[in-house]
Amino acid sequence: MADNDAPRVLRLTFEFHVPRGLRANIQNKPRLEAVQALIGAVQSLAGQVFPWADRMTVRHQWDYAWHDETLERTLPMTSKNTPK
């Protein structure tokens, strides 16, 4: 397989957090309008800053994050994961 045949994806993630204790009623219509505005803004800029991209995928998720944790651990050095 040639190098340019490998599937390549650039993933950018943005998360917008509502502060704990904020008594805001986050209603669907304004939230969905905000999502559409952000999608439109990114899409209009994408052709200029990512001219090599042929499409973009948008993931829209709204939930309660009671527990959300990301951990990174360093693994032992081996001959296969250490540059020479």
pTM of the predicted protein model: 0.71
- Where residue 5 falls (left for φ over 0; alpha for ψ -120 to 50; beta otherwise) is alpha
Say whether pLDDT at 77 is over 70.
yes
Question: What does the domain layout of the chain look like in residue ranges?
Answer: 26-53
* Per-residue pLDDT tens over the stretch 38-75: 999 999 999 899 999 999 999 999 998 888 899 989 88
Q: Which residues contact 24 (CB under 8 A, 6 or more apart)?
A: 18
